[in-house]
Amino acid sequence: MRAIKPLIAALGLSLSFTALADTQVSVDTTKPGPVINKNIYGQFAEHLGRGIYEGIWVGPKSKIPNTKGWRNDVVGALKDLQVPLVRWPGGCFADEYHWREGIGPRDKRPARVNTNWGGVIEDNAVGTHEFFDLVEMLGAEAYVNGNLGTGTPQEMAEWLEYMTSDSKSTLAELRRKNGRDKPFRVHYFAIGNEAWGCGGNMTPEFYTHLYKQYASFLKTPKDNTPILIASGGHTDDTSWADHLTANVKPNWALRMDAVSFHYYTLPKGDWTVKGAALKFPEAEWMSTMVNTLKMDQFIVNNKKVMDKNDPEKKVGFYVDEWGTWYDVTGDDDPGFLYQQNSLRDAIVAGLNFNIFHKHADRVHMSIIAQMVNVLQAMILTDKEKMVLTPTYHVFKMYIPFQGATSLPLELKNVPQYTLGSASIPAVSATAARAKDGKVYIALVNANPNKAETVDINLAGITVNGVSGQVLTAAAMDAHNTFAAPETIKPAAYSAKAKNGKLALEIPAKAVVVVAVE
Ligand code: AHR
């Protein structure tokens, strides 16, 4: 079609017949693929800036309405998001966190310096019991990140015993004394974080030895055994996934159920000057998209080494930190990593989800960094005020994909979005059959200048039309503020099929999620 268009224009003709759309999408609903784990939609709450304190935790005595210290407005918004999983307490913070400092009466807990994030005083008001109050209120699974960097195998083993034992051991009794009779359900437990960097500057070989040592002592009751996660690599480094899966076999008594991976989208690809969250030029829109799409190849490369060492795919690949990372916005301490969140972030989220779905056979978890007030957040707060970001809206639009069965999808004739020497496919898509039995399709148009036409061919079902939502806005950096909280929000989107065929127009810079009717 693209080849014909200039010819028609040159001949002075107009397209008066029903034209074929540029992008052709084929979905085969008769060939179900792997399940999209609900934990692809995981969230991260680190002791970092206003990510926990003020952002979600205000304490039981606060004037801000709260339940057990957790603010009602933020928890309510997160419940609407059906948050499946929360990772805590870090991040880099995890490798300096000593769990015993976060239990018992809050006014007796020690104050520490948060050396990673702004050097502020950490008063340990949020500890193990408070964290589980939050995940239980949200109905989410708990992902606890253990301290390998400055802890010991004994400290880590005892934390797990404290949380999971239903016995009469001194640690289980201490938990009871602190107000919790029944054990906490620990679904996931990680041994360290970013061992290649803030977690200890280790090599994969050195970390693998430590992993084995620590994992040997993590003993939990049979009905409360967490999925064990090893700290893996980042960006284009596959050596961690390779070394770990080659040396720690999943079916040994010594378990390793998953290897983690971190990759952040930096507009300029440079940690010194990352790029602004707002008022950026189109060149930075483009470079943000280019850098986001690299996620696909990073996963492909890691899957290749894992498939060699673990062909049965027993070990998961968990992208447990992803998202945009800009130069800090506002007056906060730069160490607080607070940034605004715009339509560009929404597109980044949609592109990443479509990539994670494609790799659902190995990627069973992904966690955006972070939940509130930090990096690519769902929610921003300013004391008692709260605002939902464009990223929040995309997470909500994608809810039907949690636990859905992926469907094979083929994209053809996708037009390129080009700017200078950079060029990317404008359209990205994913499809799945959700738990409600309906087929859902998500489409992202990364081109900020041009709407894209898309024909969708669905094998195996009759199509009458689609309905769902679209998220878009006029400006590339459209965003919500406390004064104007609804500048960008989803709008209804629907289309009727003609002769059983679907032809959609996806606006410029938009995310569309529809159910097939
Ligand atoms: O998410 C912020 C930080 O980024 C995390 O603490 C760390 O793991 C990563 O480097």
Picking from 402, 146, 362, the residue whose alpha carbon sits closest to that of residue 257 is 362
Give the confidence band of 380 by pLDDT, cuts at 50, 70, 90. very high
> Pairing state of beta strands 23-28 and 452-459?
parallel
Ligand 1 centroid – CA 380 distance (Å): 18
* pLDDT score for 4: 42
Ligand 1 centroid – CA 92 distance (Å): 6
* pLDDT score for 12: 37
Picking from 477, 471, 476, 480, the residue whose alpha carbon sits closest to that of residue 387 is 480
Helix crossing, 282-309 with 343-358: angle to 10°?
Answer: 20
* pLDDT score for 5: 45
Nearest residue (by CA) to ligand 1, atom 7, is 91
* pLDDT score for 501: 87
CB of 193 sitting under 6 A from ligand 1: yes
| Per-residue pLDDT at 7 exceeds 80 | no
Give percent above pLDDT 70 in the chain: 95
pLDDT digits (tens, 9 = 90+) for 108-132: 999 999 999 999 999 999 999 999 9
| Per-residue pLDDT at 2 exceeds 70 | no
What does residue 389 show for φ and ψ, rounded to 5 degrees? -95, 165
pLDDT digits (tens, 9 = 90+) for 240-260: 999 999 999 755 678 899 999
> How much is the average pLDDT of 42-59?
98
* pLDDT score for 435: 97
Ligand 1 centroid – CA 493 distance (Å): 36
* pLDDT score for 251: 57
Rounded to two decimals, the pTM is 0.95
Nearest residue (by CA) to ligand 1, atom 6, is 91
* pLDDT score for 128: 98
pLDDT digits (tens, 9 = 90+) for 292-344: 999 999 999 999 999 999 999 999 999 999 999 999 987 889 999 999 999 99
Give percent above pLDDT 90 in the chain: 93
304-311 CB contacts, 8 Å cutoff, 24+ apart = 304/238, 305/238, 305/241, 305/242, 305/245, 306/241, 306/242, 306/245, 306/259, 306/362, 308/242, 309/242, 309/245, 309/246, 310/245, 310/250
Nearest residue (by CA) to ligand 1, atom 4, is 91
Q: Could you give all domains of the chain from N- to C-terminal order, each with its CATH number?
A: 4-32+407-516 (2.60.40.1180), 38-404 (3.20.20.80)
CB of 232 sitting under 6 A from ligand 1: no
| Per-residue pLDDT at 9 exceeds 50 | no
CB of 96 sitting under 6 A from ligand 1: no
> How much is the average pLDDT of 55-74?
98
Please identify, by atom number, the ligand 1 atom nearest to the C-alpha of residue 264: 4
CB of 291 sitting under 6 A from ligand 1: no
CB of 92 sitting under 6 A from ligand 1: yes
| Per-residue pLDDT at 16 exceeds 50 | no
* pLDDT score for 19: 57
> Pairing state of beta strands 452-459 and 502-506?
antiparallel
pLDDT digits (tens, 9 = 90+) for 331-352: 889 999 999 999 999 999 999 9
What is the separation of C-alpha 280 from the centre of its chain, rounded to a whole number of angstroms? Answer: 24
pLDDT digits (tens, 9 = 90+) for 146-198: 999 999 999 999 999 999 999 999 999 999 999 999 999 999 999 999 999 99
| Per-residue pLDDT at 516 exceeds 50 | yes
Active site residues: 194, 321
Average pLDDT, the chain: 95
CB of 194 sitting under 6 A from ligand 1: yes
Nearest residue (by CA) to ligand 1, atom 5, is 91
Please identify, by atom number, the ligand 1 atom nearest to the C-alpha of residue 323: 1
Give the confidence band of 10 by pLDDT, cuts at 50, 70, 90. very low
Give the confidence band of 30 by pLDDT, cuts at 50, 70, 90. very high
| Per-residue pLDDT at 430 exceeds 90 | yes
- CB distance 55 to 372 below 8 Å: yes
Taken as a whole, the chain contains a residue count of: 517
- CB distance 85 to 141 below 8 Å: yes
Picking from 380, 368, 367, the residue whose alpha carbon sits closest to that of residue 338 is 380
Please identify, by atom number, the ligand 1 atom nearest to the C-alpha of residue 90: 6
Question: Which of 43, 46, 337 has most ligand 1 atoms within 8 Å of its beta carbon, as the pocket-test mutant?
Answer: 46
Ligand 1 centroid – CA 248 distance (Å): 25
Helix crossing, 239-247 with 204-216: angle to 10°?
Answer: 40
Give the confidence band of 400 by pLDDT, cuts at 50, 70, 90. very high
CB of 369 sitting under 6 A from ligand 1: yes
What is the separation of C-alpha 410 from the centre of its chain, rounded to a whole number of angstroms? Answer: 24
